[in-house]
Amino acid sequence: MKYIFSFLILTVSLLAQQVGDKIVAVVDNEIILKSDLDFRVYYETSQRKLNPQDPQIVRAILNQLIEEKLLYAQAELDSVTVTDEQVNQRLDYQVNMLMQQFGSKERLEQVYGMPLEKIKRTIREDIRKMAMSEYVREKKFAGVQVSRLEVEEFFNTYKDSLGVVPERFQISHIFQNPKTGERIKQKARETAAMLLDSIKKGGDFAQLARQYSNDPGSASQGGDLGFVKRGVFYPEFEAAAFALAPNQLSGIVESPVGYHIIQLLERRGESIHCRHILIKLKADDEADLKAIEFLNDIRDSIMRKVNTFEYYAKKYSDDKENARFGGELGTFEKNQLDKSLLDVIFKMKENDISFPKRLEIDNNAYGYHIVKLIKRTPEHKASLDEDFAEIKRLAEYYKKQKLYAKWMDELREKIYWDIRL
């Protein structure tokens, strides 16, 4: 939810340049355009299957937009500032998400009719304002908590509407990425070394990038990545790229996605223009088989009580984010689990460990894992004893919403706003 309105801002800002527009509301020194309202109405109603022509819905969404502008006005009154680094992180996150959505940088530029750097310049200020607004709201309600008594009162008031809590599964896993095998890494590195040697002997960098690079976003452009500031690339890539002189070639640079050959084309202050060839780590049947055999060996060791699931997860799991917690993934409801995984877990008893299973991460990444069912909570009617943490979270959210509504009334009293529909 944190970045969802950044997506709306991006789309609206770009579309607003292409259509006739008019002002529908003014808040302090900010305006709300009809294109802002139209797109938000389209987005909200399509997500919730509502009638976009309903005047009450349109007015409610306009009020949401006004509240966002009121938050920004308050942020300015409070002299809230956000750093360029914070804005860059949000901006890069948003643009990368859109490139994934459209499939490539070129496709994104084609859809919006402008180069990537212009897209970033177009939305940068709006993203800075949104960051300021979020900061002032988070700061206002950061200390809001609920007591045990407030949780009980909330539960007693709303227990009939809380309904049934779906069946839940607390699970852990040990994950193996076939691409991390030394044979796979060596094969990729040898390919990168061959290409680097060819370039040093006079080979055409751009032609080799088009032919061999595994970066679909830049390969068709001869590996050209355009001008980029710090914080966009992997740290290993940046360290090598920013250390180069213009036209200088790097050695073979390893990052989490594979091996790069980088050439710096131009530097402008803290921005660099470079091109690269990426050789990704690609698994094959042999690597897959080794990952499965390794997981089977770990499972056998756990079953023979050589050591615990948590021990092997911390030592061997390639999912480093969860490995330090003994591989624990969390607690999930049935509809939050992939069907193929649910089919496995549904047949397990508590403390059972599955056999190795393929895990699809996205269109380009996969691996194998063994899963442990830590706890299984059957479907039940909400109760304070079994669901206190979740009910407390709902009670806290309810309290914050009430305080937020009261605060909005106060802001409407002290900050100028006007609807011009």
pLDDT given at position 362: 65
The two tokens of residue 358 are 């393929």
Q: Give percent of the chain above pLDDT 90.
A: 56
Note whether residue 174 is domain-resident: yes
pLDDT given at position 168: 92
Residues, the chain, total?
421
**17 vs 111, residue with greater confidence:** 111
Q: Is the pLDDT of residue 331 over 60?
A: yes
Q: What angle do CA 144, 148, 153 make, to 5 degrees?
A: 95
pLDDT given at position 31: 92
CATH number at residue 16: 1.10.4030.10
Co-location of 172 and 319 in the same domain: yes
Torsion angles phi and psi, residue 296, rounded to 5: -65, -40
The per-residue pLDDT of the chain, averaged, comes to 88
Q: 55: Cβ–Cβ under 8 A, 6 or more apart, which residues? A: none
For the chain, report the end-to-end CA distance as a whole number of angstroms: 28
Residue whose tokens read 């960098």: 205
The residue-averaged pLDDT of 181-187 equals 79
pLDDT given at position 304: 96
The two tokens of residue 177 are 């990425």
Please give the DSSP secondary-structure letter assigned to residue 114: S
- Give me the sign of the Cα torsion angle 190, 194, 200, 206: negative
Q: Is the pLDDT of residue 419 over 60?
A: yes
The two tokens of residue 157 are 């008031």
Q: Is the pLDDT of residue 6 over 50?
A: no
Co-location of 310 and 171 in the same domain: yes
The two tokens of residue 275 are 């091109």
Q: Return the closest-CA partner of residue 316 out of 191, 148, 175.
A: 175
Instruction: Convert the pLDDT of each residue in 10-21 to its tens digit.
Output: 555 555 444 457
Instruction: Convert the pLDDT of each residue in 195-216 to its tens digit.
Output: 999 999 999 999 999 999 998 8
How many CB atoms lie under 10 A from the CB of residue 249?
Answer: 13
Q: Is the pLDDT of residue 5 over 50?
A: no
The two tokens of residue 419 are 């609807």
Co-location of 267 and 332 in the same domain: no
Instruction: Convert the pLDDT of each residue in 145-155 to its tens digit.
Output: 999 999 999 99
Note whether residue 34 is domain-resident: yes
pLDDT given at position 97: 76
Co-location of 15 and 110 in the same domain: yes
3-state SS class at 103 = coil
pLDDT given at position 124: 86
From 3-17, 98-112, 352-366, 384-398, the region with the lowest mean pLDDT: 3-17
Co-location of 135 and 9 in the same domain: yes
pTM of structure:
0.59
Q: Is the pLDDT of residue 397 over 60?
A: yes
Single out the residue in 261, 280, 299 at which a domain terminates.
Answer: 280
Task: Assess contact for 182 and 264: CB atoms under 8 A.
Answer: no
**292 vs 93, residue with greater confidence:** 292
CATH number at residue 359: 3.10.50.40
pLDDT given at position 299: 96
From 17-26, 52-61, 180-189, 346-355, the region with the lowest mean pLDDT: 17-26
Region at 236 (left for phi over 0; alpha for psi -120 to 50; beta for the rest): alpha
Co-location of 121 and 67 in the same domain: yes
> Which range marks the domain in which residue 212 is found?
182-280
Note whether residue 56 is domain-resident: yes
Single out the residue in 259, 280, 301 at which a domain terminates.
Answer: 280
Distance between CA atoms of 359 and 376, rounded to whole angstroms? 21
- Find the DSSP H helices in 53-83: 55-77
The two tokens of residue 121 are 């310049």
**19 vs 142, residue with greater confidence:** 142
- Give, in order, the Cα–Cα distances in Å from 394 to each of 236, 304, 376, 388, 403: 42, 43, 22, 10, 14
Instruction: Convert the pLDDT of each residue in 310-325 to its tens digit.
Output: 999 999 998 988 999 9
From 12-21, 49-58, 162-171, 229-238, the region with the lowest mean pLDDT: 12-21
The per-residue DSSP string of 316-376 comes to H-S-HHHHTTTTEEEEEEGGGS-HHHHHHHHTPPTT-BPPPEEEEEETTEEEEEEEEEEEE
Co-location of 101 and 243 in the same domain: no
**Residue 4: which pLDDT band, with cuts at 50, 70 and 90?**
very low
Q: Is the pLDDT of residue 9 over 60?
A: no
3-state SS class at 130 = helix
**Residue 363: which pLDDT band, with cuts at 50, 70 and 90?**
low
Co-location of 8 and 122 in the same domain: yes
pLDDT given at position 95: 81
- Number of domains making up the chain: 3
The two tokens of residue 328 are 């624990």
Co-location of 223 and 294 in the same domain: no
The two tokens of residue 219 are 């390969």
Task: Assess contact for 370 and 299: CB atoms under 8 A.
Answer: yes
Note whether residue 412 is domain-resident: no
The two tokens of residue 13 are 């800002």
Co-location of 113 and 249 in the same domain: no
Q: Return the closest-CA partner of residue 246 out of 262, 229, 234, 230.
A: 262
Instruction: Convert the pLDDT of each residue in 231-281 to its tens digit.
Output: 778 889 989 999 999 999 999 999 888 899 999 999 988 889 999 999 988
Co-location of 171 and 292 in the same domain: yes
